[in-house]
Amino acid sequence: MVSLGWFLSMGVRLIYPVILPQLVAEYQITYGTAGLSLSLLWVSYAAVNTPAGMLADYFGERLLLVVSMVLSLLGIIAVIASQTFLQFLLSTIVLGAGTGLFGTTGTTVLTDVYTRHDTTAISLSQIAGSLGSIVLPVIAGLLAVALGWRVGLAYAAPGFVIVCLGLWLSLPARTSPVVDSVNQHPGDILRNIQDTFSNRALLLVVGGLTAVGVVYQGITGFLPMYLIDIKGFTQQEATLFFGVLFVAMIVGKIVSGPLANRLGNRATLIGYSAVSLPGFVLLPVVDSTILILVSVWFTGLILGYTPVATTYALELIPGDVQGSVFGIIRTTFLGTGALAPPVIGYLADVGLFDLAFASFVIFAILGVVLSYFLPSDR
């Protein structure tokens, strides 16, 4: 059920990029403004990760996951009912916050349950999220063209009801023990959190996650529009290419756990940061459908970085502040990444769409450099 929750919470956010053409047309907005809506979705998603982790530490994981599903459902209903762009933005914040409550707690639940195979469990769960990022947007894109963008979003709503009930019935009230932090003085908790962030390796991993987060949110936010406007594809074709991007992400995540076990975290993280470089170099300069497809494929492989880095980070966090610290980490890298869509949108508005996509090379290289300085674990 946790993986199915990931399927929905990740997939529903990635519906936004494929319905951007309809949103731009209906609300008469620029790409920069459209990027702002994507940014608000991700900022609200990121912002609740820190309190979500703290609340899970205190009240248990099941309650937080159920609240996440309920709030996400309310967000979907509010978005499809929006008649003005302001209403759309406010509703988007609700949807982002609802899905954001799932991220931190959904991950820590897996590390609690699968203590000996946590990397594999997180990889499989993130694969489920990536599957949602393929299935839900592709169907939404086709529905948006045929029946309108509201139908393209509304069809996902029943899934949240099913998962909400499934989580309540299948999970215990909490998967982790009542930690010491519940009874600690707030000052002691803050000192424990501060001490955790003095770990150099943890800071490097957070830096790498942030670089990859910028790439992820930038390319997923505007790849369909880029393929339509710059490469000349139809919306249906661009939606299918968007699906290919997430197939590559799934492949990267599937092999990430075995690679980390065989080669070590450091080597695996360097490799995943580097493997996307050819894609970002080629995509702005090629016109052949095959070469564009190859470029999109390589850019997607970078997401194999996240399950390895996530597991690595969790291993460096003491159990009594795990939810709180991991929430701060997710807020940091997701919130920073959320700055990418409006920047990409602005560059597109001024005729620099190609340059915007080429700039992702910088962040991929940054991921390589930060990963290189991690301590060797082999």
pLDDT in tens, the chain (378 residues): 788 888 998 899 989 999 998 999 999 999 999 998 999 998 898 888 778 777 777 777 888 899 999 999 999 999 999 999 999 999 999 999 999 888 777 777 776 766 666 666 776 777 788 788 889 998 998 999 899 999 999 999 999 999 999 988 887 777 665 554 445 555 665 776 777 777 888 899 999 999 999 999 999 999 999 999 999 999 999 989 998 998 998 888 888 888 888 898 899 999 999 988 999 999 999 999 999 999 999 999 998 898 899 888 888 887 667 667 877 888 888 888 888 999 999 999 999 999 999 999 999 999 999 999 998 776
- Helix, strand, coil proportions of the chain in percent (round to 5)? 85, 0, 15
> How many degrees, rounded to 5, is the angle at CA 166 between CA 163 and CA 169?
150
Domain assignment present for residue 378? The answer is no
d(CA 129, CA 10): 5
Neighbour-count burial for 242-269, b at 16+ CB within 10 Å, e otherwise: bbbbbbbbbbbbbbbbebbeebbbbbbb
Q: What is the pLDDT of residue 117?
A: 61
Domain assignment present for residue 181? The answer is no
Is-contact 310 103, C-beta < 8 A? no
With 0-12 CB in 10 A as exposed, 13-18 as middle and 19+ as buried, what is 236? middle
Amino acid identity, position 223: L
The mean predicted confidence, pLDDT, of the chain is 86
Task: Spell out the alpha helix ranges (H) of 171-317.
Answer: 186-196, 200-229, 235-263, 265-275, 277-282, 289-300, 305-315
| DSSP letters spanning 17-35 | HHTHHHHHHHHT--HHHHH
Specify the CATH number for the domain of residue 284: 1.20.1250.20
d(CA 15, CA 137): 4
Domain count, the chain: 1
Domain assignment present for residue 183? The answer is no
d(CA 270, CA 249): 16
Q: Give the domain extent around 125.
A: 2-176+188-372
Domain assignment present for residue 9? The answer is yes
Q: What is the pLDDT of residue 6?
A: 86
Domain assignment present for residue 377? The answer is no
Amino acid identity, position 83: Q
Residue position matching structure tokens 């599937």: 254
Domain assignment present for residue 171? The answer is yes
Q: What is the pLDDT of residue 270?
A: 93
DSSP 115: S
Domain assignment present for residue 131? The answer is yes
Q: pTM for the full model?
A: 0.81
Residues 6+ apart with CB under 8 A from 160: 8, 69, 70, 72, 73, 76
Is-contact 141 19, C-beta < 8 A? yes
The residue length of the chain stands at 378
d(CA 197, CA 273): 23
Domain assignment present for residue 85? The answer is yes
Containing 64, the helix (H) or strand (E) segment is helix 61-80
Q: What is the pLDDT of residue 181?
A: 46
